[in-house]
Each structure stands twice: as structure tokens, then as C-alpha cells.
């Protein structure tokens, strides 16, 4: 593998593939034989060599076709070969020092998401940093769904976020009209509602286990659906389908998260359902200048080179987004893992077990690291 | 109006149907009304007090006493079919019973003057002017003439009884009129009576004078007809001037004074939908020069009335609205390949000019039609009248898109079979050949086979073209799918067009194609060629069978519902395609799935746009072309257009080149509805020639340009030349509605004379209109405008440049709305009605059923004839006049109030009465009022 610094022009070259590698604020470009990319160890060495960081343990990630940052860490599960084979036309590599690595950066929408405005809308206190509990090697997985905002929602409600990328798996659910019973000042009242009518076997919605037939849909990405027609709700969901956050009242109320603060309240009965009564329920703001980058358009410039243009963010900036967060484990990504905590423990009691927990994790990762570099 | 109801004059237990009013006759200058009923009784009503005059009621038993026993023979007389007053002797009433008995009743003596023992079921009656002749029409298609001069008070036989279209069984003659002439002879005018088997389904009015018979053959159902004639009682003769026929779809006026009885050109009331409207476009601020040329071309099309005597005999009132400040043109494209030009400057649409593109093509129907014409007999002597013709000879002729450049008078008309026609306005007739070129939009893409219709065959050689828009160039897309988008840049002599397969760019100066680009997704082949073409061929075969039926019976009530726009069809398809067919779906389920790249119809080109802007770099601007597809793709091409030499309009004869500059794939993949480039100050770029001719402020080329891309789901502004998102508004995600139409409109301030802002107006699938600031895309206002169920209304909507809009509220009516506080087209007109003598009751505001127009009755004026100010929000051609015809005013307003208090007539009955007057077969109510209508209508 020879180091060739053929900038740009190499992309059209048959058989070779341009690699654009970033470490810190530095870029390196080199090329690989597409047909014979070699082994991961060689590649790892090459990357270290190119960036002149021969003895620094690093994590190597690449941007896949959906703009997600995915790790390259071994040959065994072929993620190195996958990275090489799917790169078109250029392979973008992101290098992080292992000790500074931001694992939460890996996964869905990571390259194009600067801040999650929607998350902030749904819960304004989101910006406070939360301890990040690593339960396995998150860099090897992409999130597919999560329950979010457990602490601000009534126990009878569930807010589910579905991550849809690529076309691998259909979202896979249907909605229908129906009627639901509400408690109003005038007593019980039947009101029209929207319900999940069907889950496609093998679809994302079914595989999460968080949505079920006959769950009532209350909100779509923070906007209440009451008063909207089935077609309107359908259009809203499709418009948000790449980052769909549905608030439902599950038909089965037995699996609700029981918060210790209000244990007695969880009777399992759909009681008061007005979300408005919760002060945290901020009105979604429709500022057009919202920088929510849950979707980004692909712009192909006249050279014919396909590029992700993440919202006018230059490459240096997006790299920054990977490295800027120093306290890597603590940076909560919109409740991705944080929502797994069943109860928001008092903040004071959080710090010490957190650091204890982090230590073995790091060890584990170091072990991984050694395996990788072997 | 809620006066006490009078005691019921009827025996208790009489079925309500017996008291159902069948006919009404106003008597004694409108102070009294005679009501004929189903049961055969005639009631008399004091109109001023709305009380029944009890002693006067004429029961059928009383009438039966004056007929001989053998006529009586135990049978009832049946419902009162007709009540006729005598013009010269108001005391006499002619009563016709369903069974055929005619009775002249004298009110003064309260006795039967004369009976005519008809035995044929009666349909209609008319009393000749002198009172000596009565003509009756019957259900078997015959009419009979009776003379009242006989000494005996009983007449057994009519003087004449004839079945005009016999001898085979005929349909009923629904209405008949007898009109005398000073020059001798008389007119007999009747509707219906056609031979049942051969022409039973035609809509005909026959006019017979002496030996001359003309069978007027209309294309829609006849609702009513009357003659305009002398109404002065002292005149000896009727002397009809004109015959007015109200049809379901139009109003036709025939000039009876001119030999041949030609139809009069309608000054207003032109039917919009003589062929179904397939697209429409609005051109604002038309230069007066072009306006005059279009008007002149239109005048040459329709010969002016020969004499002033035959001018339109109906007064539609006076238009009090101010003369419009600027000329606006509404272009409607039709299914039969015509484009109609309407004066949309003021309140009422006025037809200016009609362009037909069908003459350029050979259609399969030409030949067959000629044959059919030749085969037709001379009897009955049919004459086609009226311009409503819903049948398109060849659906491929349908106009899909129209663009007019108001500065060069060049125009592009694009149609269903992929034809793109470049036309130019010429003031003189010319004979010339039209250049033909074809552009393959598939670009050798493998695996696509077009199974739809074939392309149209253009006529070759020199063709005669009348003055007006004459074709210069025909470009045919291959495959010949319907054109879904078109745009014209007259300054560059370029036309861009798109279909479901791709788009092309054509240089019509050099007559050469510049670019063709296929937009089909590789996985799309099945979708494109499968269901769509199947649907098409089904539609086509349906049409053909319709046409076959028509050939055999020529006309009928059927009017195939035509999809108003291609777009709708495509959308319906898209929805269908969205769900796989193998899953069983209940109808109320909706699948939630993001759009994928290979959704069918993803390649449909939805919009095209030319702009002089910065595409390559920030230093150099130049011509660009933009195309947006159904799957959220936007292609931007940098064009090399040779610059025109100073002072010359035409650019040099050099090749135009197009280089793909940018490709934007919107992540949400929603169809791109519109693209517009905004200049450095955030205003839309001017139209071609506007800036170079100093007609508009030159665009700001200093600040950074931006491109606004509107998809069905969101609006987004991107910077140029580096395409990066600047602002956006996600309409669907927030509101759950989808964009149907958008337009950039200038909203001028009411307070400040010269302050205006450009905003984005948007119509959604819910029928709401939203206005957004540009380029900030902040929501400004939103109104609900069209019912969301009114899909054709939403599909037909066009916005004007100044914040107004038009949409079809029915196949024949455009509603005009305004979003601008400054730019309002307010109808204001007056109509003087010489009301019959009695005082109008206090009814300050009467609303019509459809809600849009309202009549404001001013406080009663001293002459007793109130001045009526008529206001409406709409700008339809037909509405004001139709509503103002005294007959309908009577029926819709005072008719109801009159009947309301009779006590035995329930509200339902009133409705029935009203509807029966509108339903045509049974239009006896109108017949009675018709003379009075004439009185009011004569100018």
C-alpha cells in the first residue's frame, strides 16, 4: 500500500478508492485498492502512519451511506470490508483517540446531528449532561428504538422513538380511526382517536416491542393528533418517518413504567389523559431556523461526486462534533441510553456509582482495544 | 312573514299529496295567485296578506258538473297541469287538467265559460294572444289547437291535432308556445316530442313557422324556454324577437328576427366548460398592446351580430364596479385541445379568444364524424345549437399545461400525448407548415416499454391558420406521456417540458433539442408501464364506448367525469402504489412508511423553472434551468445561451448548451411542487423580458441568491451557488396537511402606496390557504378556502401574482378569492326590476341557497320598485345573471315565502315545488310565470 496523495483526482480512478481521513482538525487523503483492501491491522497501521500518531490507540470510524458514523474495528465481522465495499465514491474515516472517544457519537444520524432540537423541544431540560451507562459495546450497534421522556409523561403514556435508516426494515405499522374515552368536566366522553391497527411482522415497530395494536396515538413528534384526521396524522407520520416520535397510550397498561414517586397513581387505568396538564409539555416551536437536521438532503455538485452536506457544516465542524465533548460517557444523546434508567435518581447519589461503573467499562474497552490492535 | 295560518279549506284527512301545488299563476297584477294542486283543485291566494280566498276555491267536482256525463264516466280529472291567464281579459283563467280537459274559468262570474273535452294526457298549454286560440301539448308527442270562437260552450274536438314527429311513438311535448306575428302566421315552439326510438334521448326544441321547421338540437337537458316578445296588452300581435332556451349547461338565445334564426353571441354567460377544463393559468398585468391584439383575434373568430336589433335581449343589470386598473387574463386549457382566453380583469369572466390546437393533428375521429354526418337524414331537420360539448373526440388532444409570455405573445401549449406546441400571435391569417421534432426522454433506457396511447400524428404541409395564435413548432415527447410540467423563456427562445419519464429542453429558435434527461428510477419500470397504462387504457376504452354510444344516439345525459388534472390522477396512483396489494386492508387503515426511492411515478417531473442566477460560482451568474420530480429530486442545469446582440431581440444562431450543475435529493422525497430563485433582497426573479425592458425592477445580483424549493411536505430555501439549507418550514410535519399549489405573490400595503412584500401563498390538500414570508418562511396567516372534499376545486386552483386566486366551484364556475387587502375584486352591480305593483315585504337580506351571492334589497323606493343592489363575492360568469333572472328570484325567495303561510302546504312541499321547477321534466311551474318573466326581461 503506497501512500499516494492524489487529491480528488483519484476518485475516478478505476480500482482505487479515495480515503479521506480526519483526526482532530487534520485531514489526510490517501487511496486504497478497492479490490484488495488488505487486512484491518494493516489499515489501522496505515491510518496511524498517515496521521503520524504511531503509538496512539485510536478508534476508527467511517461514515456509511446514510451518514451514520460506524466503527471499523476488526476483520472478523467484516466491518472493515463493509466500509470499503460500500464507500462510494470516497471513504470518510474519522479517528478518535481511544481515551477521548465519544462512543455515543456512533450510531444513527450521528454525523448530521449537531443538536437534537426536537429532543430539546420535548424536554427542555435535556441539555443537562447525564451519566451515560454503557451496557455493552454501543459502537457496535445502532439504536432502533427507545422510550423517552419517562419522567415527564404520565405513567399511562409512552413516548417511543423509532430510528429509521436506510431501507433495510420497514417501519411496519398501520393506523386507523377509532374512539377513545376521555375524562372531561362533563364526565366521560367518547372522542375520536387514532389507533395503531396493525404491525407488520418483522417490521421495526413490531421488533421494538414498544408499540402494539390498539395503542392510541396521542402525539406525533410533539404535536397532538386530537382534532386531526387519519389522513393528516398519516401525512405527519410519514413526514417525520426518519425520526418518528410517537406518544401512545398503550392498550395494555400492565407494562407501564412505575415511577417510585407516584407508585400509587399507576392504577393501570387510563385516567386523565390531557398531556397539557404537564407543564413540561412545551409547545413545539416552529422556528424555521431550527437547525434540526433529522433529515438532510443530498446535494450532488457538478463534479458528479456525491457528498453529504450536513447543513452547511464544513468537515472540520462535523469532526468537531465528534471530538468536542470531552466527557464522553456523560454526554447523553437524547435519552438514547439514559432513558433506560427506570427512575431518575437524585443527582447527588449519582456520581459515585457512576464512576465506579465507568471504570470496568473502560477496562473492557481497553481489552477490546488490545484485541483490535493485535 | 309568519302570519297566522288560515283555517284549512280542505276536508280533514285529505292526503297531503292532493294539496301539493303543481302550478302557480299570478293574477291581478300580482296581488293574487292561483295555485293548481295535485288533487285537481285550484286555490286562490291573496299575495299581499298571504291568506287563502276561501270562497273562491275551485274544486274538480265543480268543474265536472259542467262536462257531459259521458266524458265524466267516473274518472278524476287528475292534477292541474297548467294555469294560463289571458293577457287582455284578466278575469279569465285557462285551466288544464292532466286528463286532458281544458276549462276557461271566469273569475267574475265564478263559473265555467267554456270546456274543451280533450282526451289525451295534457303536458302544457298556451293561450294565444287574442284569446281565440288555445294550443295544448300532450304526453304522446302530439299537440292540438283549439278554437274558443265556437258558439257552444263545449268543444269536443280540436281544430287541428297533429303529432309533428309521428307516425312512430313519440315522447311527450313538455312545453309549447304559440306566438302570433304581425306579418302573418304564427310561431309554434315546443320542446320534446321526438320519435321515442330513434331520437328519444335528444334535447330538442322545435320552432315551426308556416312551413319552416327547425329542430334545435342541444347538448344538455332543456330546463325552460321562453320568447322575448311584446308584453303590452294593447298590441295585437306577440311579434317575438328572440327565443331564450335555458339548458342545464348554458343559456342559448336565438334571434327570431333574422332569417335562419341564428344563435346570438352571448355577451356574458359563456359556458366555461363547453369542454372539460383540464388546466388553467393566470397572466397578470397584460400589456395593453397584447390585450388589443388578442381581442381583435377573438373578434375575427365570432362574427359580430348583423344588426343592432339582434343584440342580447336580457339585461343583466349594471356593473357598478370600478374599471379594473390592469388587465388580467385567465387561460383555460380544455380536454378537446382548445385554450380559451378570458378577461379576468373585472368581476365577470368575459371570453376573448379561443385557440384550437386540434387542427394541427390527424385524429381518428375526423373521418368517422364526416361519415356519420353524411349518413344522417334530413328529417328531422336537426340543427346543432349551443357550444357546450363535453365530448372530446380524442383524449390525447387534451391540454395539460399552458404558458404565455405576455411580452412576446409567444405561448406554449402542452398536451396529453406529450405534444408541446410553441405558438406565436399573428394578426393576419397565414398558411404555413409547422416544424415537428421529437425528443426521446427515455434516453435509451433499457426495459421500458410504453403501453399507453400513441403520439398524435401531425398534419404535414402547408396548413391554413386564422389570425391569432399560430403554431410555429411542435415538439413531441417520446414516449408520448402527458406533459406534466412546462416552462417557456422567450428571451432565450427555450422551452422546457417534462413528463412522467423525464424532461427535455428545446431551443425553438434553432429548432433543436438541447437536453433530454430521464428521471425514471431503475426499479420503476413495472410501476410506470403497468398500472398507469392499464388505467389509461381502461379510461380510453370507456371513452371509446361512450363515443360509440354517442354515435348511435348522438346525445344523452351522460357526461363522463373527467379528471381535472393529470396531477390528481398521478397522486391517486401514488397512494395506490404506496400499499402493497397482497396485504388485506380495511379501508380506514393507513400504512406508515417513509417514501422510498423506487415508489412508482417517482420520475414524474412536477415543475420546471428558468432563472438567471448563480449556479457555478458566486462571481458569475447565467441562465439556469431547474427541474423537480415527484420523488423530491431537483436537477439544476447551467445553460450556455448565446447573448443577444445589443438592440436585437433575437440571440445569435449558436448552439445552446446545458451542463448539469447540481442535483438535490430532498431527504423526505416528497414531490417537488415549485422552484423559484430569490434575488439578493429575497424577492423572486422577474419574468423574462421584464427586467430587460424596464418593466420590473432589476433583480439584485449583488447579494447572494437563494433557491426556494417547495415540496408537498415542506418549503426550504437553499443558498446559491453552494446549495445549503438556509430556512425551512415543515408544513406536513407540523400541520398534517400537504401542499397542493404554491405561488409567490406580491402583497401591496393598504396603508402605504408603494410598499409591497413578496410572500409564498400555498393551498393545501385540506383546502386551506397559508401565506409565508419569503425567504424567512414564517407563517403569516392562514385561511380556510375550499372544502377539503372538493378535490377538483383544489386541483383547479390558480394563484395570481397579486395575491388573488381562482378555483372551480363547479365544472362551469370559477370562484375568485383574494388574500390581499389591497387587491380586491369586489363585485358591485345594480339591477332595476319593475316589480309587480304590490309592495315588497320587509326582507332586507335574502341569501341564496349556495351562500355565495346575496341580494340586498334596498329600502323601498317611492315608485314602489325597489332598487336592488346585487353583491357577490364570486366572479363567475353565470351566477349573477342566472340568479337575477326574475323567475329564479321569484322561485327562490318570494316563492317560498308566499307558500309558507298557506297552512296546508308544508315546508317539504315547498321544497318539492322548488326542486320540481329545477328538475326539468316537470317544469310546469315555470311555464306559468314565463310571460311575466318576459315582461321583466325585455330591455
* Cβ–Cβ gap B667/A164 under 8 Å: no
Banded pLDDT at B801 (limits 50, 70, 90): very high
Candidate from A79-88, B241-250, B489-498 with smallest mean pLDDT: A79-88
Banded pLDDT at B195 (limits 50, 70, 90): very high
* Cβ–Cβ gap A288/B713 under 8 Å: no
**What integer is the mean pLDDT of B700-720?**
91
| pLDDT(A275) > 90 | no
Nearest neighbour of B736 by CB, restricted to A167, A228, A295: A228
Distance CA A92, CA A298 (A): 16
Q: Which residues 327-346 of A are in CB contact (within 8 Å) with B?
A: none
Residue A332: all three cell numbers together: 447523553
Cβ atoms within 10 Å of B325's Cβ, excluding its own: 8
* Cβ–Cβ gap B662/A300 under 8 Å: yes
Q: How many CB pairs under 8 A join A and B?
A: 128
Give residue B568's pLDDT: 52
| pLDDT(A121) > 80 | no
A311 has a chain B CB within 8 A of its CB: yes
* Cβ–Cβ gap A295/B593 under 8 Å: no
**What integer is the mean pLDDT of B833-840?**
58
Contact A129, A330 (CB under 8 A): yes
Mutate to test the interface with B, among A235, A295, A313 (most CBs of B within 10 A): A235
B616 CB burial (10 A radius; 0-12, 13-18, 19+): middle
Distance CA A161, CA A245 (A): 4
Q: State the smallest CA–CA distance between residue B732 and chain A in angstroms.
A: 5
Chain A residue numbers touching B732 (CB-CB < 8 A): 235-236, 238-239
Reported as a single tens digit per residue, the pLDDT across B775-784 is 899 999 999 9
Reported as a single tens digit per residue, the pLDDT across B569-595 is 555 555 544 444 444 444 578 888 887
Banded pLDDT at B1 (limits 50, 70, 90): very low
A194 has a chain B CB within 8 A of its CB: no
Q: Where are the alpha helices (DSSP H) in B170-313?
A: 196-199, 288-301
Q: Quick one: which of B685, B829, B662, B801 has its CA closest to B743?
A: B801
Candidate from A241-255, A321-335, B172-186, B196-210 with smallest mean pLDDT: A321-335
A242 has a chain B CB within 8 A of its CB: yes
* Cβ–Cβ gap A312/B725 under 8 Å: yes
Nearest neighbour of B594 by CB, restricted to A234, A238, A300: A238
Which residues 6+ apart lie within 8 Å of B792 measured at CB? Answer: B564, B568, B808, B811
Cα A241-A244-A245 angle, rounded to 5 deg = 160
Give residue B332's pLDDT: 95
Distance CA A332, CA B316 (A): 74
Chain A residue numbers touching B737 (CB-CB < 8 A): 232, 235
Chain B residue numbers touching A204 (CB-CB < 8 A): none
Chain A residue numbers touching B721 (CB-CB < 8 A): none
Nearest neighbour of B662 by CB, restricted to A228, A231, A299: A299
Contact B206, B381 (CB under 8 A): no
Q: State the smallest CA–CA distance between residue A314 and chain B in angstroms.
A: 11
How far from B80 is each of B72, B103, B109, CA to CA, in Å?
A: 16, 11, 21
Nearest neighbour of B594 by CB, restricted to A171, A229, A286: A171
Give residue A54's pLDDT: 83
Q: Which residue in chain B is spatially nearest to A174 when comparing CA positions?
A: B591
Chain A residue numbers touching B738 (CB-CB < 8 A): 235
Q: Which residue in chain A is spatially nearest to B668 when comparing CA positions?
A: A239
Contact B424, B405 (CB under 8 A): no
Looking at chain B, the whole-number percentage of residues with pLDDT higher than 70 is 77
Banded pLDDT at A87 (limits 50, 70, 90): confident
A63 has a chain B CB within 8 A of its CB: no
Give residue A295's pLDDT: 52
**Total-model pTM:** 0.71
**What integer is the mean pLDDT of B377-383?**
78
Distance CA B292, CA B693 (A): 20
Nearest neighbour of A301 by CB, restricted to B595, B659, B662: B662
Tell me whether the omega of the peptide bond preceding residue A89 falls within 30 degrees of 0, making it cis: yes
* Cβ–Cβ gap A174/B589 under 8 Å: yes
Nearest neighbour of A235 by CB, restricted to B722, B724, B732: B732
| pLDDT(A158) > 80 | yes
How far from A339 is each of A116, A117, A126, A161, B832, CA to CA, in Å?
A: 15, 17, 12, 11, 76
Give residue B417's pLDDT: 93
Distance CA B238, CA B217 (A): 25
A109 or B713: which leads in pLDDT: B713
Q: State the smallest CA–CA distance between residue A131 and chain B in angstroms.
A: 32
How far from B291 is each of A68, B341, B487, CA to CA, in Å?
A: 58, 11, 22
Distance CA B285, CA B802 (A): 10
Mutate to test the interface with B, among A300, A308, A317 (most CBs of B within 10 A): A300
Q: Given the C-alpha cell 459515585, which residue does it identify?
A: A352
Residue B834: all three cell numbers together: 319593475
Residue A281: all three cell numbers together: 409539555
Q: Which residue in chain B is spatially nearest to A223 when comparing CA positions?
A: B734
**Strand runs labelled E in B614-685:** 622-629, 633-640, 657-665, 672-678
Chain A residue numbers touching B589 (CB-CB < 8 A): 174-176, 197-198
Chain A residue numbers touching B778 (CB-CB < 8 A): 288
Give residue B646's pLDDT: 66
Chain A residue numbers touching B671 (CB-CB < 8 A): none
Q: State the smallest CA–CA distance between residue A226 and chain B in angstroms.
A: 12
Chain A residue numbers touching B716 (CB-CB < 8 A): 297
Reported as a single tens digit per residue, the pLDDT across B331-369 is 999 999 999 999 999 888 888 999 999 989 987 655 444
Give residue B898's pLDDT: 31
Candidate from A305-309, B321-325, B545-549 with smallest mean pLDDT: A305-309
Cα B498-B504-B505 angle, rounded to 5 deg = 120
B741 or A124: which leads in pLDDT: B741
Chain A residue numbers touching B517 (CB-CB < 8 A): none
Nearest neighbour of B664 by CB, restricted to A232, A235, A297: A297
* Cβ–Cβ gap A174/B592 under 8 Å: yes
Chain B residue numbers touching A231 (CB-CB < 8 A): 590, 736, 765
* Cβ–Cβ gap A232/B730 under 8 Å: no
Which residues 6+ apart lie within 8 Å of B756 measured at CB? Answer: B746, B747, B748, B749
How do B382-384 and B212-218 pair as beta strands?
parallel
Looking at chain A, the whole-number percentage of residues with pLDDT higher than 70 is 52
A229 has a chain B CB within 8 A of its CB: yes
A289 has a chain B CB within 8 A of its CB: yes
Give residue B607's pLDDT: 96
How far from B696 is each of A175, B598, B699, B705, CA to CA, in Å?
A: 51, 43, 9, 18
Nearest neighbour of B592 by CB, restricted to A221, A237, A302: A237
Consecutive H or E run containing B900: helix B895-900
Give residue A255's pLDDT: 76
Chain-wide mean pLDDT for chain B? 78
Amino acid at each position: 500500500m503506497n501512500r499516494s496523495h492524489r487529491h480528488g483526482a483519484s476518485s475516478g480512478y478505476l480500482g482505487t478508492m479515495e480515503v479521506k481521513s480526519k483526526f482532530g482538525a487534520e485531514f489526510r487523503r490517501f487511496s486504497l485498492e478497492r479490490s484488495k483492501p488488505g487486512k484491518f491491522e494493516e489499515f489501522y497501521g496505515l491510518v496511524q502512519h498517515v496521521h503520524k500518531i504511531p503509538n496512539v490507540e485510536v478508534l476508527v470510524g467511517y461514515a456509511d451511506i446514510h451518514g451514520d458514523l460506524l466503527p471499523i474495528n476488526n476483520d472478523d465481522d467484516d466491518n472493515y470490508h463493509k466500509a470499503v465495499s460500500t464507500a462510494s465514491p470516497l471513504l470518510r474515516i474519522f479517528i478518535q483517540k481511544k481515551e477521548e472517544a465519544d462512543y455515543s457519537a456512533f450510531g444513527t444520524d450521528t454525523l448530521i446531528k449537531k443538536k437534537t432540537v426536537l429532543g430539546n423541544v420535548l424536554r427542555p431540560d435535556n441539555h443537562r449532561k447525564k451519566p451515560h451507562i454503557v451496557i455493552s459495546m454501543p459502537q457496535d450497534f445502532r439504536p432502533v428504538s427507545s422510550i423517552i421522556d419517562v419522567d415527564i409523561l404520565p405513567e399511562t403514556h409512552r413516548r417511543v422513538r423509532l430510528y429509521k435508516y436506510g431501507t433495510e426494515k420497514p417501519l411496519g405499522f398501520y393506523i386507523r380511526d377509532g374512539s377513545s374515552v376521555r375524562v372531561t368536566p362533563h364526565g366521560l366522553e367518547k372522542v375520536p382517536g387514532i389507533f395503531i391497527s396493525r404491525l407488520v411482522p418483522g417490521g421495526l415497530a413490531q421488533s421494538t416491542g414498544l408499540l402494539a395494536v390498539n395503542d392510541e396515538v396521542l402525539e406525533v413528534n410533539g404535536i397532538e393528533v386530537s382534532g386531526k384526521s387519519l389522513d393528516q396524522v398519516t401525512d405527519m407520520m410519514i413526514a417525520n418517518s426518519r425520526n418518528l416520535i410517537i406518544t401512545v397510550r398503550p392498550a395494555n397498561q400492565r407494562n407501564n413504567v412505575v415511577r417510585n414517586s407516584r407508585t400509587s397513581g399507576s392504577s393501570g387505568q387510563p385516567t386523565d389523559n390531557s398531556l397539557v396538564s404537564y407543564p413540561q409539555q412545551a409547545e413545539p416551536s416552529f422556528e424555521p431556523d431550527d437547525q434540526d437536521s433529522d433529515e438532510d438532503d443530498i446535494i450532488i455538485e457538478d463534479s458528479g461526486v456525491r457528498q453529504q452536506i450536513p447543513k452547511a457544516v464544513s468537515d472540520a465542524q462535523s469532526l468537531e462534533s465528534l471530538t468536542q465533548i470531552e466527557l464522553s460517557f456523560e454526554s447523553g444523546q437524547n435519552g438514547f441510553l439514559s432513558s433506560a434508567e427506570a427512575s431518575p435518581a437524585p443527582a447527588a447519589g449519582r456520581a459515585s456509582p457512576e464512576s465506579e461503573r465507568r471504570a470496568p467499562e473502560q477496562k473492557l474497552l481497553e481489552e477490546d482495544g488490545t484485541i483490535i490492535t493485535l | 312573514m309568519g302570519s297566522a295560518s288560515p283555517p284549512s279549506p280542505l276536508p280533514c284527512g285529505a292526503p297531503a299529496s292532493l294539496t301539493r301545488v303543481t302550478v302557480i299563476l299570478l293574477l291581478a297584477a300580482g296581488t293574487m295567485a292561483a295555485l293548481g294542486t295535485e288533487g285537481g283543485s285550484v286555490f286562490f291566494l291573496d299575495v299581499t296578506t298571504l291568506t287563502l280566498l276561501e270562497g273562491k276555491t275551485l274544486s274538480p267536482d265543480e268543474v265536472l258538473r259542467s262536462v257531459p256525463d259521458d266524458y265524466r264516466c267516473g274518472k278524476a280529472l287528475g292534477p292541474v297541469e297548467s294555469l294560463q291567464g289571458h293577457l287582455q281579459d284578466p278575469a279569465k283563467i285557462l285551466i288544464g287538467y292532466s286528463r286532458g280537459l281544458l276549462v276557461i274559468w271566469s273569475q267574475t262570474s265564478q263559473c265555467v265559460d267554456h270546456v274543451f273535452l280533450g282526451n289525451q294526457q295534457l303536458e302544457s298549454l298556451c293561450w294565444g294572444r287574442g284569446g281565440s286560440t288555445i294550443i295544448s301539448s300532450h304526453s304522446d308527442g302530439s299537440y292540438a289547437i283549439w278554437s274558443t270562437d265556437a258558439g257552444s260552450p263545449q268543444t269536443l274536438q280540436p281544430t287541428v291535432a297533429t303529432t309533428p314527429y309521428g307516425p312512430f311513438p313519440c315522447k311527450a311535448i313538455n312545453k309549447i308556445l304559440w306566438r302570433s306575428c304581425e306579418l302573418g302566421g304564427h310561431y309554434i315552439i315546443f320542446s320534446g316530442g321526438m320519435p321515442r326510438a330513434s331520437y328519444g334521448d335528444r334535447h330538442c326544441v322545435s320552432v315551426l313557422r308556416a312551413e319552416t321547421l327547425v329542430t334545435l338540437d342541444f347538448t344538455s337537458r332543456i330546463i325552460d324556454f321562453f320568447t322575448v316578445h311584446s308584453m303590452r296588452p294593447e298590441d295585437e300581435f306577440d311579434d317575438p324577437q328572440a327565443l331564450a332556451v335555458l339548458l342545464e349547461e348554458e343559456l342559448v338565445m336565438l334571434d327570431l328576427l333574422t332569417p335562419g334564426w341564428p344563435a346570438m353571441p352571448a355577451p356574458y354567460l359563456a359556458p366555461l366548460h363547453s369542454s372539460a377544463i383540464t388546466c388553467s393559468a393566470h397572466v397578470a398585468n397584460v400589456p395593453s398592446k397584447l390585450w388589443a391584439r388578442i381581442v381583435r383575434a377573438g373578434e375575427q373568430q365570432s362574427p359580430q351580430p348583423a344588426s343592432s336589433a339582434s343584440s342580447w335581449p336580457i339585461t343583466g343589470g349594471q356593473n357598478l364596479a370600478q374599471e379594473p386598473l390592469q388587465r388580467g387574463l385567465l387561460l383555460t386549457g380544455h380536454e378537446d385541445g382548445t385554450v380559451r382566453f378570458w378577461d379576468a380583469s373585472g368581476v365577470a369572466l368575459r371570453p376573448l379568444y379561443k385557440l384550437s390546437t386540434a387542427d394541427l393533428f390527424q385524429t381518428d375521429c375526423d373521418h368517422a364524424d364526416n361519415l356519420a354526418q353524411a349518413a344522417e337524414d334530413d328529417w328531422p331537420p336537426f340543427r346543432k345549437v349551443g357550444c357546450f360539448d363535453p365530448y372530446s373526440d380524442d383524449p390525447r388532444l387534451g391540454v395539460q399545461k399552458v404558458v404565455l409570455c405576455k411580452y412576446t405573445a409567444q405561448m406554449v401549449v402542452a398536451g396529453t400525448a406529450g405534444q408541446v406546441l410553441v405558438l406565436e400571435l399573428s394578426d393576419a391569417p397565414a398558411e404555413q407548415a409547422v416544424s415537428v421534432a421529437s425528443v426521446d426522454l427515455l434516453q435509451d433506457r433499457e426495459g421500458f416499454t410504453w403501453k399507453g396511447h400513441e403520439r398524435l400524428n401531425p398534419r404535414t404541409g402547408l396548413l391554413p391558420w386564422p389570425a391569432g395564435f399560430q403554431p410555429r413548432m411542435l415538439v413531441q415527447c417520446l414516449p408520448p406521456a402527458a406533459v406534466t410540467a412546462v416552462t417557456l423563456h422567450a428571451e432565450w427562445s427555450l422551452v422546457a417540458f417534462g413528463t412522467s419519464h423525464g424532461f427535455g429542453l428545446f431551443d425553438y429558435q434553432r429548432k433543436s433539442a438541447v437536453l433530454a434527461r430521464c428521471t425514471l428510477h431503475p426499479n420503476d419500470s413495472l410501476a410506470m408501464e403497468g398500472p398507469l397504462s392499464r388505467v389509461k387504457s381502461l379510461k380510453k376504452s370507456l371513452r371509446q364506448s361512450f363515443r360509440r354510444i354517442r354515435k348511435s344516439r348522438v346525445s344523452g345525459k351522460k357526461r363522463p367525469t373527467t379528471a381535472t388534472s393529470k396531477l390528481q390522477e398521478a397522486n391517486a396512483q401514488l397512494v395506490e402504489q404506496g400499499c402493497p396489494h397482497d396485504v388485506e386492508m380495511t379501508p380506514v387503515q393507513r400504512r406508515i412508511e417513509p417514501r422510498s426511492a423506487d415508489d412508482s411515478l417517482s420520475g414524474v417531473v412536477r415543475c420546471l423553472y428558468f432563472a438567471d442566477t448563480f449556479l457555478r460560482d458566486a462571481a458569475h451568474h447565467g441562465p439556469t434551468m431547474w427541474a423537480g420530480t415527484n420523488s423530491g429530486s431537483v436537477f439544476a442545469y447551467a445553460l450556455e445561451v448565446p447573448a443577444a446582440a445589443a438592440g436585437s431581440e433575437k440571440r445569435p444562431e449558436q448552439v445552446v448548451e446545458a451542463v448539469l450543475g447540481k442535483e438535490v435529493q430532498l431527504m423526505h422525497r416528497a414531490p417537488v411542487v415549485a422552484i423559484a430563485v430569490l434575488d439578493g433582497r429575497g424577492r423572486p426573479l422577474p419574468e423574462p423580458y421584464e427586467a430587460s425592458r424596464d418593466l420590473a425592477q432589476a433583480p439584485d445580483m449583488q447579494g447572494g441568491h437563494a433557491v426556494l424549493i417547495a415540496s408537498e411536505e415542506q418549503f426550504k430555501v437553499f443558498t446559491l451557488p453552494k446549495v445549503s439549507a438556509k430556512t425551512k418550514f415543515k408544513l406536513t410535519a407540523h400541520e398534517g396537511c400537504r401542499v397542493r399549489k404554491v405561488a409567490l405573490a406580491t402583497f401591496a400595503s393598504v396603508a402605504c402606496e408603494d410598499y409591497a412584500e413578496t410572500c409564498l401563498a400555498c393551498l393545501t390538500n385540506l383546502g386551506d390557504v397559508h401565506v409565508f414570508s419569503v425567504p424567512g418562511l414564517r407563517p403569516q396567516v392562514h385561511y380556510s378556502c375550499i372544502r377539503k372534499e372538493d378535490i377538483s376545486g383544489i386541483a383547479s386552483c390558480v394563484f395570481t401574482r397579486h395575491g388573488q386566486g381562482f378555483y372551480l366551484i363547479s365544472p362551469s364556475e370559477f370562484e375568485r378569492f383574494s388574500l390581499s387587502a389591497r387587491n380586491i375584486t369586489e363585485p358591485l352591480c345594480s339591477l332595476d326590476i319593475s316589480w309587480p305593483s304590490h309592495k315588497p315585504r320587509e326582507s332586507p337580506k335574502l341569501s341564496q341557497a349556495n351562500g355565495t351571492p346575496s341580494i340586498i334589497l334596498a329600502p323601498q323606493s317611492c315608485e314602489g320598485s325597489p332598487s336592488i343592489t346585487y353583491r357577490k363575492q364570486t366572479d363567475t360568469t353565470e351566477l349573477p345573471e342566472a340568479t337575477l333572472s326574475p323567475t329564479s328570484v321569484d322561485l327562490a325567495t318570494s316563492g317560498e315565502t308566499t307558500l309558507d303561510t298557506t297552512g296546508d302546504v308544508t315546508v317539504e312541499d315547498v321544497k318539492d315545488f322548488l326542486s320540481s321547477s329545477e328538475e326539468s321534466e316537470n317544469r310546469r311551474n315555470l311555464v306559468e310565470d314565463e310571460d311575466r318573466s318576459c315582461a321583466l326581461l325585455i330591455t
